Amino acid sequence: MKLLPFLVLISSLLDYGCTSASCNMTCHKDARCEVQGGTTGCYCSQGYTGNGITFCYDDNECENATQPCGEHANCTNTVGSYFCMCVPGFKSSNGQETFVPNDGTSCLENPKAKCELYKDCITEHINRTLAGISHLKTPLEMLQEINKNTLGPLLPIDVISYVEALSYSSLNTMHYSVSDNEALRNTTINVLVNTVNNFLQKDKITVWEALPVDNQRRSLTKLMHTAEQVMLLMSQNFKKTTQLDVNASDIALKVFAFDSHHMKHIHPHVYTGGDYVKISPKKREESHPNGTVAVVFLRYSNIGSLLSSPKNRSSKDTSEQRQTVSSSVIAVAISSNPPMLYELEKITFTLKYTKIADKDIKCAFWNYSADTMNGNWATEGCELTHSNSTHISCKCNHLTHFAVLMSSGGSVGVTNYNILTRITQLGIIISLICLSMCIFTFWFFSEIQSTRTTIHKNLCCSLFLAELIFLIGINMNNNKLFCSITAGLLHYFLLAAFAWMCIEGIHLYLIVVGVIYNKGFLHKNFYVFGYVSPAVVVGISAALGYKYYGTTEVCWLSTKNNFIWSFIGPACLIILVNLLAFGVIIYKVFRHTAMLKPEVSCYENIRERMKEIKSSFATGTIFCSEPERQPGNPLMSCTYPVPEVLLLSCSSLGLPGSSGSSMSYRDLWLLHIFLQSSMHSRGCSSSYFFACCLGRFRKSIIGCSKMFLAVSAA
C-alpha cells in the first residue's frame, strides 16, 4: 500500500509526457521525442508550435490576447520565450528590471517617478531614505546599504536622497564611532570611495543633468564635501605613518598620515591620471610639538561638465562668463592636531586639459559655503605658472577643489541679474499704474463709451491682472500647489489679453469692409471669445498636463513635452489673424487714396503708406491726411473714428520657463490706428491733431484722454 502513491505518480508522468528511451524518431531541433497521452511522437518544446518533425515555430506570447505581462508592463518576445518590463512610473515587485510573471511578479507604482523635485517632495523622499538606514547600527553598515542601493540605475530624486543619507551616515555618526581597528577603518574608507564612485560614474551623469541646476550643484558640492571631511576624519586615527591609495573607475584617493617627527621627511604629493599635485607647508623654526597630520588628495574624473556653466542658465548665481571645466577636478585637504602644526604655504598642481582655441584659460577653485552648500568658481589666490597644449600648471595659496576653467561669451552675472530684475519689477509697477489709469478712464468717462473702449477696457483689465500675478507670484516656486495655480492664472489672463487683441483686429476689419452688425449681439460674442475661449484652452491644457503648470525655476508653463505650446500656439494664431487684418486695412487705405487722388502715382502712394506704417510703429498711431469726408468710401474718410487695431509682438513668446528665464515677460507692444471723428467735426486734419486736442475745454478732455490711452497703450 505504501508503494501505491509512487506508482500512481510514475504512471501519470508516463501518460502526460516523458522522453522515451526507445524513441528512434528524428525530431526537429526545437522538439523532443516524448510520450504524451500514451502516444509516442515528436512534440515541440515549450514556447514553440509545430508538428515537431519538420518545423517548430516560435510562439509570440506577446500577441496573446491574455496579456501575459499584466497591467503597467510591456511584453518583449524572444526565441522560445518572452520577458516583461514595467512602464515608466512603475517597478517590478521583485526589484528586477526584467521578469516573467510566472512567479507572481507584477508592476507596482513607483512613487519616486512622480516626484517633480519640489521642496515637499524632496523632503519626503529624504526622510524615507534616512528611515531606511536608521535601524543600522554602525557607519559601515549604513555605507554598505547606500552602496548597494546606488549600484544600479538611479532617478534624480534618488541622487538627492542618497547624497543626504551618505552625508548623514558619514559626518553625523563617524564623529562618535571612528574605530581604532585599522582593518575596519580601511574597509570603511574603501566602501566610502566605491559609494561616492557609484554617484559619479559616466552612466549617472545624465541623471545629474536631469536635476535643476541649483539642486544639482548643491548635491554635488555636498557629496564632495562629505567625501573630503570623512576621509580626513578617518585618516586622523592612523597610529603610524601611512600612505593609502584607493582607486575606483571615476574617483581616486590618496591619504598621507604621519606624526610631527616625520614632517621633514614626508612631502605629500600625488600623480594620477596625468595630473600631478604637491603641497608645500610653511617652514617652522621652532621644534615641532607632538601631533599628527593627515593630508587627503581626491581626483574626480567626470564631474567637470556638471560644474560648468549651463548654456541656457537661468539660475541667480550664474557667473559673468560662460565657464567650462576642461580638466578633472582635484581636492586637497589637510587636518592637523594641534591645528597650527602643519600650515600650508602653497599648493602647486599640473592638470591635463583639453584646449579649445580662442578661450581664456584660468586656474580656479570651487568656492562654496559649508552651511548652504552653494558654490561657484573663483580665481582669488590662484595663478597660472605655465601652460602648453596639453597641460597647465598652477599655484594657489589655499586648499579646496581645483580645476582648469575656459571662459567664453559673456552672460548675466549676479549683480546684473539683480539689476535687471529690479528694472523689470519697476517697469511692471509703472505699467500697472498706467493700466489702472486707462481702466479708470474707460470705465467712468461716459462720453467716450463705444465698442472700441469696451474692447480696450477688457484688454487693459486682462493685462493688469496678468502683470499683477506675474509680479507677485512668478518666483514663488517653493509651494507646488500655489506655483501651479499662479501658472494657471497667468496662462489664462495672458491668453485673455491676446483674445481681446484679436477682437480689436476683427472689429477694425468689420468697420473697414463696411459690415453692418448688431452692436449688442457683437458685444455678447466678444465677451464669449475674450473670456470663455482662454478658459477652454487652459482647461484642456490642465486636464492633459496639470503637472506641467509650474516649474522648479519659476511659476510658468514647463517646456517638457512641448507643453509651452499651449500658450505659444494660440498666441501665434492671434498674431497671424491680426497681421492679416492689418494687411487688409493697409490695402484699403491704399485703394482709397488712389481713388481720391488719381493724379498721385502708384509709387508715391506706396511711399506715403510706408511712412504712415513707420509712424505707427514709432508713435502708436496712424494719421490719415485726408481732411474731407467722402460719402460712400469704405473708410468713411481718414478722420472717421475707426477703432485702434492691435498688432501684438512679444519679445519672448516662451515667457518665464520656456528657456528657464524668470523675467522674459515684459515686451508687449500695441499698434493702434487712431482716427478721430471729433477732429473732423471741428474741421481739423491730422496735421492739427494736438491743437485740436488742446481746443475747447469740454471737448479737449475727451480728445486728450483718447490720445493718452492710445499712446500709453502703445
Dump pLDDT digits (tens) for 607-661: 766 666 655 554 443 333 333 333 333 333 332 233 333 333 333 333 443 333 3
All residue ranges of the chain with pLDDT < 50 are: 1-20, 176, 312-320, 410-412, 618-714
* Separation CA 79–CA 168 (nearest Å): 48
The pLDDT of residue 225: 93
DSSP, collapsed to helix, strand or coil, labels residue 637 as: coil
* Separation CA 712–CA 161 (nearest Å): 52
The pLDDT of residue 486: 92
The pLDDT of residue 141: 87
Angle 400-194-300 from CA coordinates, rounded to 5° = 35
Burial of 243 (0-12, 13-18, 19+ CB in 10 A): middle
The pLDDT of residue 104: 78
* Separation CA 474–CA 493 (nearest Å): 14
Q: Where are the alpha helices (DSSP H) in 300-372?
A: 304-307
Q: Is residue 707 a contact partner of residue 679, using CB atoms and an 8 Å limit?
A: no
pTM above threshold 0.75: no
Q: Is residue 272 a contact partner of residue 299, using CB atoms and an 8 Å limit?
A: yes
Angle 389-394-400 from CA coordinates, rounded to 5° = 125
Q: Where are the alpha helices (DSSP H) in 84-181?
A: 119-133, 139-149, 156-167, 173-177
3-state secondary structure 186-225: HHHHHHHHHHHHHHHCHHHHHHHHCCCHHHHHHHHHHHHH
The pLDDT of residue 488: 93
Q: Which three cell numbers stand for residue 325?
A: 571645466
Q: Is residue 552 a contact partner of residue 476, using CB atoms and an 8 Å limit?
A: no
* Separation CA 192–CA 242 (nearest Å): 18
